[in-house]
């Protein structure tokens, strides 16, 4: 494998690392990644914006991803999304003023037997009720 | 027909963190047996078993292996596809959580047959919580792997990356966009090398095939669908979860007898682009010849709105389309727009014809499976529930006629 190829291969991994460190991929970080790997800025931006776990704007300390796909939707995921939004005072795609949570809706997370389900950061939770979510949210700083 | 737990026999019986508990259940005996055979013999055995890909597409596993083995290029690549993103599918998660060692053994068998030195596992980002269990399983099994290198690569949130050509692009650090075929991965795949991509469940099947032989294995199932299949059942059922059944069992046996569904309107089998089975056809056998896909089974009871379901499904496909080819990118968009209109009561009579016309174009000209099959739930519901569509439209037209006309 050529050096150029191996650098290109590393792109997604490098972006993910930077993302984990600073909660998003800023314009400055994209320029740095592009220069370090010798790939165009367009490629860095293109890869970053392709994947739903990567963001170009600053995410909260914890990211809530509530599943909205059919099996979860059938178990009232929409009401839950509304409820959690009210509880946190934000809508999907927004971050709380204290930077604690970002709320997003996501497609199937493979927890349909525990619907409605969500991910907070890397952990999966389900089946959810408003009471259970309230308990879970308390455990995050 | 009761459950037949062959692939899942260790789940709940072993400690997924302790290889000794897997060894006590006869673990790694298949790998030992395989190493006494030649790679060609292993491929022949897998071909004879009739095993087909369990990720959804159903390509014969042994044929895929043979193509890659015969392809020019010294170095071959094996990728385990653990990017289980198909809506309603959670079988691979269940295997990884409860019996990662069976997957490790299956991978080692495939690697031996293909003569590869390095294996990749592409794990979806949503399953990051399983990363440690999987890595631990490989670490503990090191003594069995004969120097085989294993790298777990993680995705970053993308349904289409479960599609093999998009998966390879993602692994090469690119956007997860589909590739034109040919060349097929078996000829030129990851970094232009001959590549075999097998689903988690497909690889787990190798263990019993090697241990008990292809003759035993092909004795189960139907003519073109051999062995057992792991089904992920969800939706309107009393007991959602994982069920392993012999292929050819009926949908009724699975969703009514085992999962306890009542008042069924329809069932979608195979994920978001899977076929629709109405209640009247619940005796349909589950097989590659009929409906199967990834084995996702979502049950809808009589209270569910067909058009709302199809709209949400199209919204999903539209969001997850990689956007590279026009028929899929624009087709899912327009379909979503039409279906959204129907849901909101703004439908017009021409909408159904437009959906059908668009379906034909998307199926004929999309680059990969997503666009080629995106119209399946639309066409199937138009076939079995056309009355629902027509009633919705005629009611909408009538209701609109009652609204006062604005006079300026």
**The domain spanning residue A107 has which CATH number?**
3.40.30.10
Q: Rounded mean pLDDT of chain B?
A: 97
Whether residue A80 sits in one domain with residue A131: yes
Segment B197-204 shows an average pLDDT of 98
- Quick one: A30 and A77 in the same domain? no
Backbone φ and ψ for B100, nearest 5 degrees, come out as -65, -20
How far A46 CA sits from the closest chain B CA (Å)? 7
Number of domains in chain A: 2
Q: Looking at the complex, does the CB of residue A71 fall below 8 Å from at least one CB of chain B?
A: yes
A71 pLDDT more than 60: yes
**Distance of CA B15 to CAs B21, B97, B200, Å?**
6, 10, 19
pLDDT tens column, B314-335: 999 999 999 999 999 999 999 9
Q: Can you give the residue ranges of every domain in chain B?
A: 19-218, 228-301, 306-402
Containing structural domain, residue A129:
62-138
Contacts with B239 from chain A: Cβ below 8 Å: none
Q: What is the ipTM of this complex?
A: 0.96
- A68 and A113 share one domain: yes
Q: What is the pLDDT of residue B142?
A: 97
My answer on whether A66 and A134 are in the same domain is yes
Q: Which residue of B8, B73, B74, B88 to mutate against A (max A Cβ within 10 Å)?
A: B88
| Same domain, yes or no: A46 and A66 | no
* Alpha carbon distance A61, B397 (integer Å): 49
Which chain B residues have a beta carbon less than 8 Å from that of A74?
235-236, 298, 300, 304
Are A66 and A91 found together in one domain? yes
Rounded to 10 deg, the angle between the B386-402 and B376-384 helix axes is 80
Separation of alpha carbons B110 and B173, rounded Å: 25
* pLDDT of the residue at A1: 47
Residue A56 lies in a domain: no
- Which CATH architecture group holds B19-218? 3-Layer(aba) Sandwich (3.40)
Question: What global pTM score does this model have?
Answer: 0.96
Taking an 8 Å cut-off on Cβ atoms, the answer to whether B175 and A115 are in contact is no
Do A133 and A73 lie in one domain? The reply is yes
Q: Are residue A42 and residue A74 in the same domain, yes or no?
A: no
Question: What does the buried/exposed string (b/e) look like for B327-362 if buried means 16 or more CB atoms within 10 Å of the residue's CB?
Answer: bbebbbeebbebbbbbbeeebeeebbeebeebbeeb
CB neighbourhood size of B169 (10 A): 24
Residue A68 sits in the same domain as residue A108 = yes
Query: Which CATH number is B306-402's, of 3.60.20.10, 3.50.50.60, 3.30.310.50, 1.20.1440.230?
Result: 1.20.1440.230
Which of B159, B240, B312 lies closest to A70 in CB terms? B312
User: If you average pLDDT over residues A66-84, what whole number do you get?
Assistant: 97
Nearest to A109 among B126, B155, B268 (CB): B126
* Model confidence at B406: pLDDT above 80: no
Does residue A53 sit at the B interface (CB-CB below 8 Å)? Answer: yes
Same domain, A101 and A127: yes
Q: Are residues A67 and A45 in the same domain?
A: no
Q: Residue B336 in contact with residue B314, Cβ under 8 Å?
A: yes
The pLDDT tens digits of the residues spanning A31-44 come to: 999 999 999 999 99
Nearest CA among B358, B239, B225, B243 for reference residue B293: B225
Pick the CATH number of B228-301 from 3.10.20.600, 3.30.230.10, 1.10.510.10, 2.60.40.420: 3.10.20.600
Statement to judge: residues A67 and A118 lie in one domain: yes
pLDDT band at B235 (very low <50, low <70, confident <90, very high): very high
Q: What is the reported pLDDT for A2?
A: 56
Residue pairs spanning A and B at CB distance below 8 A:
122
Residue A55 within any structural domain of the chain: no
């Amino acid at each position: 494998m050529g050096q150029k190829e191996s650098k290109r291969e590393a792109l997604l991994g490098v972006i993910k690392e930077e993302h984990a460190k600073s909660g998003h991929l800023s314009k400055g970080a994209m320029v740095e990644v592009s220069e370090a790997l010798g790939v165009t800025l367009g490629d860095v931006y293109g890869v970053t914006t392709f994947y739903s776990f990567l963001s170009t704007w600053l995410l909260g300390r914890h990211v809530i991803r509530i599943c909205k796909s059919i099996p979860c939707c059938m178990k009232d995921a929409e009401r839950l999304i509304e409820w959690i939004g009210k509880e946190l005072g934000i809508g999907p795609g927004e971050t709380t003023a204290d930077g604690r949570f970002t709320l997003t809706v996501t497609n199937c997370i493979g927890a349909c037997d525990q619907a409605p389900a969500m991910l907070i950061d890397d952990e999966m939770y389900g089946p959810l009720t408003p009471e259970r979510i309230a308990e879970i949210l308390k455990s995050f700083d | 027909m009761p459950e037949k737990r062959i692939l899942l026999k260790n789940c709940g019986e072993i400690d997924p963190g302790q290889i000794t508990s897997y060894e006590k259940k006869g673990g790694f005996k298949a790998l030992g047996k395989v190493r006494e055979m030649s790679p060609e013999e292993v491929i022949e055995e897998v071909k004879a078993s009739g095993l087909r890909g369990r990720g959804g597409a159903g390509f014969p596993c042994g044929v895929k292996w043979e193509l890659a083995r015969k392809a020019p290029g010294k170095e071959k690549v094996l990728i385990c596809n653990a990017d289980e993103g198909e809506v309603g599918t959670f079988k691979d998660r269940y295997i990884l959580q409860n019996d990662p060692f069976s997957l490790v053994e299956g991978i080692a068998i495939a690697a031996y047959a293909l003569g590869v030195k390095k294996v990749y596992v592409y794990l979806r980002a949503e399953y990051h919580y399983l990363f440690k269990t999987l890595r631990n399983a490989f670490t503990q099994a090191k003594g069995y792997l004969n120097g085989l290198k294993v790298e777990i690569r993680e995705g970053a949130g993308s349904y289409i990356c479960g599609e093999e050509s998009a998966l390879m692009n993602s692994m090469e650090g690119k956007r997860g966009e589909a590739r034109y075929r040919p060349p097929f991965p078996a000829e030129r795949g990851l970094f232009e090398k001959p590549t075999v991509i097998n689903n988690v469940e497909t690889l787990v099947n190798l263990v019993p095939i090697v241990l008990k032989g292809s003759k035993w294995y092909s004795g189960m199932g139907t003519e073109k669908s051999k062995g057992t299949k792991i089904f992920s059942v969800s939706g309107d059922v009393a007991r959602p979860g994982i069920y392993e059944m012999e292929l050819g069992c009926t949908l009724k046996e699975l969703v009514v007898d085992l999962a306890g569904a009542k008042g069924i309107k329809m069932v979608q089998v195979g994920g978001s682009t899977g076929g629709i089975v109405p209640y009247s056809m619940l005796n349909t056998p589950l097989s590659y010849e009929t409906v199967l896909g990834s084995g996702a089974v979502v049950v809808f009871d009589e209270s569910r709105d067909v058009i709302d379901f199809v709209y949400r499904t199209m919204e999903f496909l539209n969001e997850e389309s990689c956007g590279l080819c026009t028929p899929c990118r624009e087709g899912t968009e327009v379909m979503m727009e039409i279906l959204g209109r129907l849901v909101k009561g703004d439908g017009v009579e021409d909408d159904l014809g437009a959906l059908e016309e668009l379906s034909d174009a998307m199926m004929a000209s999309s680059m990969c499976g997503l666009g080629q099959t995106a119209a399946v739930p639309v066409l199937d519901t138009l076939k079995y529930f056309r009355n629902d569509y027509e009633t919705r439209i005629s009611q909408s037209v009538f209701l609109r006629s009652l609204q006062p006309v604005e006079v300026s």
